[in-house]
Structure 1
């Protein structure tokens, strides 16, 4: 069994770079960002607690990006070539 990564998870997604535009706050896994928040793209993000994996497609498919605590002013800061975020989930073990 792996080690527990953390006991709390929280992030804020923004529809524009540099934390602009609409913001949504999340603390649970999200299989479809569009269905849950009506966002097709997330240009920036702040991870305040825990670590998360972003996927560029819904249902936890596609390219994966690990985001740990910190500020990501644009999607390139987490290594994504585009701002499309289809789904995300919490990292609970490593």
Structure 2
């Protein structure tokens, strides 16, 4: 299971939205997204709704300003990358 918190403004300010699964259009929750905190799991985020546009991989950590990480636009959709844990037998 993963969890990411998106914030409307940089430095984790403004309204926020907690996401633990895929979200095809974040505009119904936030007008923009300029910072985010990945608490667990890994996500692919997109700069367009419906998982379109440029893709960016996010892993656990704090991202206080989307521009400093090479993003050209605000995040508009995201997908949780499933983590599979299993046993390996020989």
Fold match by TM threshold 0.5: yes
Residue in 2 aligned with 1:52? Answer: 43
TM-score, reference length from structure 2? 0.85
Deviations 1:34-69, CA, capped at 9 Å, x for gaps = 13x1x2311100000100001011110000000000
> TM-score with structure 1 length normalisation?
0.82
How well do the aligned residues superpose, as a CA RMSD in angstroms?
1.6
Gaps of 5+ in 1: 1-7
Q: Of Structure 1 and Structure 2, which has the larger fraction of its residues in helix? A: 1
Contact 1:66 1:78 in 2 (8 A): no
The one of 8, 14, 18 aligned to 1:25: 18
Q: Gaps spanning 5+ residues in structure 2: where? A: 85-90
Q: Secondary structure at the match of 2:72?
A: coil
> Residue 28 of structure 1: CA displacement?
1.0
Structure 2 residue 66 is the aligned partner of structure 1 residue 68: no
Counting matched residue pairs gives: 84
Residue equivalent to 2:87: none
Q: What is the Cα deviation at residue 78 of structure 1? A: 3.5
Larger radius of gyration: 2
Q: Is residue 88 of structure 1 aligned with residue 81 of structure 2?
A: no
